[in-house]
Structure 1
Amino acid sequence: MKRLISILVSLIILLFIYWKIDFDGLIQVLRNCDRLWMAISLGMVIPITMLTAWRLQQLMPNSSPASHPPQPPASLAFAEANKLILAASSLNMVLPSKMGDIAKAYFMQDRGHLTGSLALSLVVFEKTCDMLSLLLWCVFGLLLYPQKDVLFWGMTFGVTVGLLLGLAILCFPKFARSFFALVQSVSPKKLRAKLGKMSFAWQEMHDYFWRDKQHLLKLALTSIFIWFLHLLQIWFFILALNAYTPFLTNLALSPLAILAGLLPLTFAGVGTRDAALILFYQPYFDAATGAALGVLCTSRYFLPAIGGLPFLQKYLNLAKRSKPLA
């Protein structure tokens, strides 16, 4: 039911956007696009997926801490990691709460002989790195953004606070425990059990990754570079639409639009992300081009989801027969 409501909200926002702008102009912008830049920008999905799959490989332990008797070292082939990333993208499009990422935890549990909580903690770390990397690039771009008004100073402050808070939770276990305890105390009863599991997984994640700081640094830098490629792809989209925005400005504006799309209001961010792109990029191109950019940004999620459809049933069956992650 929640998914249907989110789809309805997305449709309403899109209808409002296309009613307010020149819809024929949107079609014309897409028709007149630069074919070479369009191919390059859409093709960026491939290296981004491959690098994300390589990072997933690096998340798998070099030993099997939960196996009794001891099992061979955990392994994840590069091809298998790519299939898993694509299948997770498909699940994230149709299931709420990023359940596709939970499917990755089930696979790690099964393949790596891990406890359910450790498998979940690895996925928690992966998503944490993604969010902090996005916030890092956003802060970097906003600090260099030349046209800051009160709104942008407010967003700069908010994003910076979010980044510092995330780093504190990641780096300091006592602070993380206090944070989760505080959130649990003010949350509805239905969420408290989930937050308790999340707090446990977070602590296990911290203990696991901070044992090898060099490996932790490699994963962190990989995540930062992956998100650089994401933002570079959006800049390539702009070039493909025969428009232009300074690249450093794009580092500030595109993360803000992505963050708007993460609000739990719409289907896969469709609608809120489109509106944010039109609003933030209006000093550089018209609303029709901004709406076309929204369509292309949505393709960043739909193309991997379509690519994951052939592998979807395999991982759904794995999730059904696996032990609970708790």
Structure 2
Amino acid sequence: MKRFVSILVSLGILALLYRRIDLAGLLQVFQTCDRTWMAISLAMVIPITGVTAWRLQQLMPPKAALGVGEANRLILAASTLNMVLPSKMGDIIKAYFMRDRGHLSGSLSLSIVVFEKTCDMLSLLLWCAFGLLLYPYKDAWFVLMTAGIIGGLALGLLLLGSKGFAKLFFGTARRLAPGKVAEKVHRLQASWGEMHDYIWCDRTQLLRVSFTSVFIWFLHLLQIWFFILALKAWTPFLTNLALSPLAILAGLLPLTFAGVGTRDAALVFLYSSYFDEATGAALGLLCTSRYFLPAIGGLPFLSQYMTAVNAFRKGPPRLNLGQRR
């Protein structure tokens, strides 16, 4: 039901957005695009997926055997599930995939996935903060956004770096949250604690994964800039580092299907000083392809992981804090 409502919300936002846009102009944008840059920008999905899979391999304990092929299949299958499950739960199901393949315990696999997604969010916030600090046109709205992004980045780093602060944060959240939400916070707190123990026992691995995450998100934002070049438009690259993460964050709001609608509207609004609404809408469609192409690529591998999907429906993985590297 929630997925159906999110699709309706996405369609509603798109309907409102496209009432303002000349559809003939949108078609013209694609007809006159630079096909070389279009091919390059769409093909960026391949190295992004490959580097993300390599990061997953680096996160695994030394004795856990996760090959290159299986790591890529896991990433692609999770992308497919993210399109049909709410709140990026396809990434959480990766924990079941790794557990069922015999790599590690369910609780530790969940902790690894939590750290993986934490690195993604912090890397996105880092690039956004960097771009916003260098953004030349700072009105009150952008100053407020910059403060919010830097504050979110600082909070995330504190949660990742201080186990005491994380305990205080999650404890406060549990006391303030209603019943079902408090239970979810409790499970996240348990996974977060094990994740913290796991990642800080090998600081070389922590630095390697952190820098890899920052590089992965550089590739994501570079791909969006390539999309702009493919549409024969222009935005300074440093400006793109500020604006495109804001649009991605808008797409993460739990309102729409895969961010469709909110992300498109944010792109049209944020880039309005650099190109027209038709080009902004075309950029929104291309940004949506960043999620659909890996999802399509994961379809051939999905059947072999359906037992993990069925296990996920029965409940969260049990915590077993005894397993370490």
TM over 0.5, yes or no?
Answer: yes
Q: Which residue of 1 aligns with 2:215?
A: 225
Report matched runs for 1:1-326 at 5 Å: 1-62=1-62, 73-320=63-310, 325-326=317-318
Give, in angstroms, the shift of residue 324 of structure 1: 5.1
- CA distance in 2: counterparts of 1:166 and 1:264, whole angstroms: 19
Counterpart contact for 2:66–2:103, Cα < 8 Å: no
TM-score (ref. length: structure 2): 0.95
Higher mean alpha-carbon deviation, 150-159 vs 21-30, is at 21-30
TM-aligned CA deviation for residue 76 of structure 1:
0.6
Q: For the residues of structure 1 that align with 2:164 and 2:92, how far apart are their CA atoms?
A: 26
Residues 273-325 of structure 1 show CA distances to partners (whole Å, capped at 9, x for unaligned) of 00000111011000100000000000000000011011111112234358951
**Paired amino acid for 2:239:** T
Q: Which runs of 5+ in 1 are unaligned?
A: 63-72
How many residues are treated as equivalent by the alignment? Answer: 316
Cα separation, 2, equivalents of 1:12 and 1:185: 36
TM-score normalised by L of structure 1: 0.95
C-alpha contact (below 8 Å) 2:123/2:213 kept by paired residues: yes
Letter in 1 for 2:269: L
Q: What is the DSSP-based 3-state SS (H/G/I as helix, E as strand, rest coil) of the residue aligned with 2:64?
A: coil
After TM superposition, give the deviation of residue 188 of structure 1 in Å: 1.2
Q: Could you list the runs of 5+ residues in structure 2 that have no partner in the other structure?
A: 319-325
State the Cα deviation string for residues 208-254 of structure 1 (Å, max 9, x = none): 11011011000000000000000000000000000000000000000
Which is worse superposed, 130-139 or 109-118? Answer: 109-118
Q: CA deviation at 1:127?
A: 0.1
State how far apart, in whole Å, the 2-side matches of 1:320 and 1:4 are: 21
Secondary structure at the counterpart of residue 20 of structure 1: coil
Q: Given that residues 129 and 223 in structure 1 are in contact (C-alpha distance below 8 angstroms), is that contact kept between their aligned partners in structure 2?
A: yes
Query: Aligned-residue CA RMSD in angstroms?
Result: 1.2
Letter of the aligned partner of 2:25 in structure 1?
G
Report the alpha carbon displacement of residue 87 of structure 1 after superposing the two structures with TM: 0.5
**Structure 1 residue 114 displacement after superposition:** 2.4
